[in-house]
Amino acid sequence: MTVPRILGSPVDDQTRCVHYRTELDVIAIRFWCCGEYYPCHLCHAEGAGHAARPWPLAEQGTEAILCGVCRRELPISTYRTVDACPHCAAPFNPGCTLHAGLYFEG
């Protein structure tokens, strides 16, 4: 299995970053604007060199979420409806829903 490259400021091998590093912060998001994985919107803002653009509603079936625990990719639509990784059961941070509009339309 090829693991995608994670840009930004990760601090461990489970995709936690300098901005979000609780036990539950274990996902990276592939940004629609550049196709690159970053741990969070702040890492993207610091390193991408362009403004982030959210994933369009029509493309939310795209695999663009990386579980930092098992390294499997999830479709956006799945990620937005679960509390944990469907592959390894690693719990996700429920607080991430507060930032959903930065990443996804709708």
Could you give the 3-state DSSP secondary structure of residue 45?
A: helix
User: How high is the pLDDT of residue 1?
Assistant: 73
Pairing of strands 63-67, 27-30: antiparallel
Q: For 78, list phi and psi in degrees, rounded to 5.
A: -70, -50
User: How high is the pLDDT of residue 3?
Assistant: 83
Q: What is the pTM for the complete model shown?
A: 0.95
Tell me the C-alpha to C-alpha distance, in Å, between residue 10 and each of 21, 23, 24, 78, 80.
9, 14, 14, 24, 22
Q: Tens-of-pLDDT digits for all 106 residues of the chain?
A: 788 999 999 889 999 999 999 999 999 999 999 999 999 999 999 999 999 999 999 999 999 999 999 999 999 999 999 999 999 999 999 999 999 999 999 8
Angle (nearest 5°) at CA 27 between 88 and 44:
165
